[in-house]
Amino acid sequence: MTHESRLARGLGLGGSATVLAALLVAGPALAANDNSSGSSDSSGQAPHLAVTESDFDKTPQGQQIERYQLTNRNGMSVDIITFGARVQAIHMPDKNGKDADIALGFDNVKDYIDHQSTYFGATIGRYGNRIANGKFKLDGKTYNLPKNNGPNTLHGGTKGFDQMIWAASPIDTGNTVGVELTHFSPDGTMGFPGNLAVTVRYTLDNDNDLRIHYSAVSDKDTVINLTNHTYFNLAGAGSGTVLNQVAMINADQFTPIDKTLIPTGQLKSVSGTPLDFTTPKPIGQDIHADNQQLKYAEPKQGGYDFNWVLNSDGNLNKLAVRVSDPKSGRTVEMYTTEPGVQFYTSNFLDGSFKGTNGNTLGHWGGFTLEAQHYPDSPNQSNFPSTELKAGQKYTQTTVYKFLPE
């Protein structure tokens, strides 16, 4: 079966969905991406790479949710589930070979629904982060979106891609294993214009690269900002806070926010502020600093929740972020084609519910590295555009690279 017919079948719709599916698979971009990963094994072989499918759970309505587990020869495994096209778990050995799950998650669908606002591991769409006052103008028309975060729309509205059941099929290219997930979002979903066909491909290789490639096509001009919302705790989910983990964000500037976390429109230097991570420092080092921006992000206990303007500037070969845990020796690096990253220190977790394996998930229990265009770009003409023209293809590639010590 071709990609095209599989996507059209996965979408379960004819008409515009089939046309969009055809557009989405048109051209060599996706296939080229598989081979250009730069992740091929130096011996020319890829032993121990595997993808296995199993039942994860059922939704309250009885729909089956599948899990795809990607494994490599270094003892890493990544579990992706079809509910929200999300990363449910990432297992990796520490410097002594001891395994831990380093991604926050749940082991059942009900918890993902009940704690929707965590967005654990999810694919976020149609628009990652906030759109001010739940509205934007495009081609002279005003679009209204449901508000789900004070006066604003967050992460695509009340029912975003994180709550959707995605169609999935396994990938095995020889050098990588993975899963391709597809979703069809009808015109007007959550107020956004255009029928939108979306594909997210997760692949893992023997260099410990977890690569996420996104593509989307709309039949009307629209806006789009996809991201992944995995919370990492390199010492292991539930093992305490990430405050001693050491972060480097390759960014000289950030987008300052107002008290509703909407960008003011300026780009500001990080120099001399607690947001300066150009030189690696423990996440907790300046988190309690007396700083107005930090207070907007987390008024009570301190926390980061900002968009950094990456110096890597869309270059997938340039390091965007690195975080290391001195204790376990685990490191994650992020590379992305996106211009920004939302670094968020799970300021709204409070230990009131448990995650996978009964893990307690408290304040600062994880951090996200959300590769993205800047928040509220549809209302900020000086930010890089998030507009997707009818019939054109949106793409993004983001790589999380995991390094043993």
In the complex, the smallest distance separating the C-beta of residue 267 from ligand BGC, rounded to whole angstroms, is 18
Kindly tell me which of 68 and 304 has the beta carbon lying closer to ligand BGC: 304
Q: Which of 95, 96, 115, 94 lies closest to 104 in space, CA to CA?
A: 115
In the complex, the smallest distance separating the C-beta of residue 118 from ligand BGC, rounded to whole angstroms, is 5
In the complex, the smallest distance separating the C-beta of residue 120 from ligand BGC, rounded to whole angstroms, is 8
Q: What is the DSSP secondary structure assignment for residue 38, as one 8-state letter?
A: S
- What are the residues facing 217 on neighbouring strands? 197, 393
Q: Using CB under 6 A, pick the residue from 129, 195, 208, 225 that binds ligand BGC.
A: 129
Gyration radius of the chain's alpha carbons: 20
CA 221 to chain centre: 23
Q: Which of 110, 2, 126, 121 lies closest to 59 in space, CA to CA?
A: 110
Kindly tell me which of 117 and 144 has the beta carbon lying closer to ligand BGC: 117
In the complex, the smallest distance separating the C-beta of residue 342 from ligand BGC, rounded to whole angstroms, is 5
Contact call for residues 82 and 200 (beta carbons, < 8 A):
no
Rounded Cα–Cα distance for residues 393 and 383 (Å): 20
Nearest-10 crossing angle of helices 3-11, 16-25: 140
Looking up tokens 């048109």 gives 26
Kindly tell me which of 101 and 370 has the beta carbon lying closer to ligand BGC: 370
In the complex, the smallest distance separating the C-beta of residue 257 from ligand BGC, rounded to whole angstroms, is 10
Kindly tell me which of 348 and 353 has the beta carbon lying closer to ligand BGC: 348
Question: Exposed, middle or buried, 69 (CB in 10 Å: 0-12/13-18/19+)?
Answer: buried
Known catalytic residues are 229, 370
Q: Is 342 in the site for ligand BGC (CB under 6 A)?
A: yes
Rounded Cα–Cα distance for residues 92 and 402 (Å): 8
Q: Is 205 in the site for ligand BGC (CB under 6 A)?
A: no
Kindly tell me which of 117 and 264 has the beta carbon lying closer to ligand BGC: 117
Q: Binding marks (x or -) toward ligand BGC, 162..201, rule CB under 6 A?
A: ----------------------------------------
Q: Binding marks (x or -) toward ligand BGC, 70..89, rule CB under 6 A?
A: --------------------
Q: Binding marks (x or -) toward ligand BGC, 109..128, rule CB under 6 A?
A: --------xxx---------
In the complex, the smallest distance separating the C-beta of residue 297 from ligand BGC, rounded to whole angstroms, is 8
Q: Is 370 in the site for ligand BGC (CB under 6 A)?
A: yes
Around 97, how many Cα atoms within 13 Å sit in the side-chain half-sphere? 0
What sign for the dihedral angle of Cα 141, 142, 144, 147?
A: positive
**Stretches 98-106, 252-260, 342-350, 353-361: which one binds ligand BGC (CB under 6 A)?**
342-350
In the complex, the smallest distance separating the C-beta of residue 261 from ligand BGC, rounded to whole angstroms, is 6
In the complex, the smallest distance separating the C-beta of residue 241 from ligand BGC, rounded to whole angstroms, is 17
Kindly tell me which of 119 and 184 has the beta carbon lying closer to ligand BGC: 119
Q: Is 305 in the site for ligand BGC (CB under 6 A)?
A: yes
H-run or E-run covering 306: strand 305-309
Kindly tell me which of 184 and 374 has the beta carbon lying closer to ligand BGC: 374
Contacts of residue 272, defined as CB under 8 A and 6 or more positions apart, other chains included, come to none
| Cβ neighbours, 10 Å, residue 382 | 9
Rounded Cα–Cα distance for residues 18 and 208 (Å): 35
**Stretches 91-99, 108-116, 187-195, 341-349: which one binds ligand BGC (CB under 6 A)?**
341-349
How many residues sit close enough to ligand BGC to count as binding (CB under 6 A)? 10
- What are the residues facing 322 on neighbouring strands? 248, 333
| Cβ neighbours, 10 Å, residue 141 | 9
**SS3 track for 84-136:** CCEEEEEEEECCCCCEEECECCCCCHHHHHHCHHHCCCCEECCECCEEHHHEE
Residue sitting closest to ligand BGC (CB) = 344
Kindly tell me which of 94 and 305 has the beta carbon lying closer to ligand BGC: 305
Binders of ligand BGC among residues 343 to 362 (CB under 6 A) are 344, 348
Q: Helix H segments across 98-156?
A: 109-114
Which residues contact ligand BGC (rule: CB under 6 A)? 117-119, 129, 261, 305, 342, 344, 348, 370
